[in-house]
Structure 1
Amino acid sequence: MERMKLWYLHNLLIRKATPETNMEHIVEKIRSMEEYCCDCYDEKIDLSSAKFVEMLVVDGFFIIELFRKMIGDMPRGVDDPLFNRSGMLSIVQNDLLLLENQLPWRVLDCLFHQVPGGKCKSLWELTQRILPSWRGLEYFVSHVPNTLQSRHLLDTLRILSVEFESDKNEKVCPFRVRIPSATELLQVGVKFRRKRGFDSILNITLLDGVMEIAPITLDAEKSVFRNLIALGRV
């Protein structure tokens, strides 16, 4: 994967999108926010200053280049194993949503604007196009305007799902109430039914004693939920 990241970075730089698309300029841009980036992590960074900045640049550009390839903005190439080897892309997608693998959103946004071009004019727009296409997230993401501040990619997923749906529900019912458990609902006669098709997991309806809930396969998405839960604790 480290060789793959460097290959992605090389392909991105040789496109020379602007006169400032060079490693020296990009490294200086990220070095200028190094202190901010260090403060984003709870644990002490066990890397030298140069290695830390290098990691931010290499990993950040890898994510952006991958996203652009996924929406067809950049050619994938027949020699790209992420798209030509079965299961590789799913593994990378899963790794990108691990809490311990997150990069500060400010870094990704800065790098995104260092190499402009493509269909998406902002990192937020690119992310909103990408996440619903990932396996298991098509019913998990709402498209919202870029009005909320994200900390990193996993936090963006939280904003696009739970936070935005909660904001919409808050306008309808502004009072926080305790939601009974499924066991308690069964005891009072509520029946459960699977909704047809894919929908937001938060779009739950109750009519004539029947509660309909969108289906979700936890085998495929349990890692996402575990990391969202872990994110809620920090």
Structure 2
Amino acid sequence: MEGSSHGEIFHHVITIMEEKINQPPRRLSENAGNEFCCIFRVPESFVGINKKAYQPHIVSIGPYHYGKDHLEMMQEHKWRFLGSFLRRTRRHNVDLVHLFRAVEQMEERIRECYSEMIEIDKNSLVKMMVLDGCFVVELFCIVGGLSDTNIDDPIFNMQWILTFIMRDLLRLENQIPFFVLETLFKLSISGSDRKNVCSLTQLSLEFFNYMVQRPVEVIENHADLIGKHLLDLFRMSFLPSSSQVTPRNRTTSSSGELSRNTSSTERTSTISTCLSEETSKMSTSSTEEPSTFLQLIPSAKKLHLAGIQFKPGKSDSFLDVKFNNGVLQIPLLTIDDFSSSVFLNCVAFEQCYHYITNHVTTYATFMGCLIN
């Protein structure tokens, strides 16, 4: 009897395991890991360091934080902005039905962008995308001067609200696909006006330029960028144009100066090697064996003692670090709540999304070693 009971338990456990194997994932999206999947939950190992940097404080965009109590106030503002959006579009015969139908056609494509299963029905998802997307587009249009606003609008009269919105729109978990925003933006502009209106990308970058100011020509140079979402777009706008060059095209002159064709990630890696070698020359005596261990980037203090000079770089991209003839040039960058939040979310995105470079991660690691 005892052996029979053990056998029944054994087969029962095997049956349960086989059922689990055949069950589709409940939380993990089937598309997680492919190139379309670009909006992620930030890993717990990241969240534990600074939880507030990854979660929205005032407005939810997309499904991950939808319905949270502390974000409900902005839901009413979203409906106001949708009404403002429709007042413009109805002038060229585009109403709410047109918006809904346009987004409805992209439902499956939208779901593929999220790393977790979106447990809401089709109509609810489309409603969310239309409401959130029109809020973002109308916000950009108002700030960009393409749409009128009430002078008493609290979003623009109470400066802290707009500042918090800017931060929330660049959090990895708080994104909707850029193609949704692009579709809604195009519907908001009449056909005759499209040639005279700047791109959504330019409007977006001009909006965030209130927090990280760059020359107008820099924004205009990036007007044709297309990101996966707003965080990706903002990140891409700081990548030097040479970042498109493959690692095989990297070249270093005999003096240690990197070629202009070298990407910022490769450049920072090569700079790290050069800096380690410079400090090794000073710290290793002629009788000592060179260390076979991986050499990390020395701190700024050690580099200064080794004779390395520091100078502010003049590039428009903070990633454009240069090292030549003992001089390390680093573009000036103001670190505040906004920039630190963007840094953390860009690093999280680069670590989660396999199909992009690690420019911001490399820069953050490099600067962390210098400051340490």
The structure 1 residue matched to 2:172, chosen from 90, 99, 102, is 99
Amino acid at match of 1:43: E
Q: Rg bigger for which structure?
A: 2
Do the aligned partners of residues 223 and 105 (structure 1) sit closer, same or farther apart at CA in structure 2, a change above 3 Å counting?
same
Give the match for residue 227 of structure 2: 150
1:89 positional shift: 0.7
Q: Match for residue 326 of structure 2?
A: 209
1:41 and 2:114 aligned: yes
Structure 2 residue 149 is the aligned partner of structure 1 residue 31: no
1:124 aligns to 2:201 (yes or no): yes
Secondary structure in structure 1 of the residue aligned to 2:336: helix
User: CA-to-partner distance for each residue in 1:197-231, whole Å, 9 max, x for gaps?
Assistant: x8421233445533232222222310000111011
- Secondary structure of the residue that 2:310 maps to in structure 1? strand
Equivalent residues of 2:240, 2:320 under 8 A apart = no
* Whole-angstrom CA distance in 2 between matches of 1:85 and 1:174: 44
Match of 1:11 in 2: 84
2:124 matched to which residue of 1?
A: 51
Partner amino acid, structure 1, of 2:118: I
Distance (Å, rounded) in 2 between the aligned partners of 1:206 and 1:163: 16
Residue equivalent to 1:136: 212
Q: CA deviation at 1:174?
A: 4.5
User: Quick one: distance in 2 between partners of 1:5 and 1:101?
Assistant: 15
Output the aligned Cα RMSD.
2.7
AA of the residue aligned to 1:98? R
Shift in CA distance, 93/182, structure 1 to aligned 2, threshold 3 Å: farther
- Quote the Cα distance in structure 1 between the aligned partners of 2:166 and 2:99: 25
Match of 1:172 in 2: 260
After alignment, is 35-44 or 165-174 more displaced? Answer: 165-174
1:143-166: CA deviation from partner (whole Å, max 9, x where unpaired): 3352x5421111111221126352
Q: Are the equivalent residues in 2 in contact too, given 1:8–1:62 (CA < 8 A)?
A: yes
Post-superposition shift, 1:195?
Answer: 4.9
In the comparison of the two structures, how many residue pairs are matched?
229
Unaligned runs of 5+ in 2: 1-73, 251-258, 273-296, 353-372
Unaligned runs of 5+ in 1: none
Identical-pair percentage: 31
Structure 1 residue 105: deviation in Å? 1.0
TM-score (norm. length: structure 2): 0.55
Q: Which amino acid aligns with 1:159?
A: M
Paired with 1:178 and 1:230, the residues of 2 have a C-alpha distance of 24
Equivalent pair of 1:94/1:223 in contact (CA under 8 Å): yes
1:111 and 1:56 map into 2 onto residues whose CA distance is 10
State the Cα distance separating 1:35 from its structure 2 match.
Answer: 0.4
- For residues 33 and 211 of structure 1, what CA distance do their matches in structure 2 show? 48
Shift of 1:88: 1.1
For 1:55 and 1:182, the matched residues in 2 are separated by: 49
Structure 1 letter corresponding to 2:307: G
The amino acid that maps onto 1:82 is I
Letter in 2 for 1:225: F
Q: Identify which of 239, 242, 249 aligns with 1:162.
A: 239
Q: Is the 8 A contact 1:17 1:115 kept in 2?
A: no
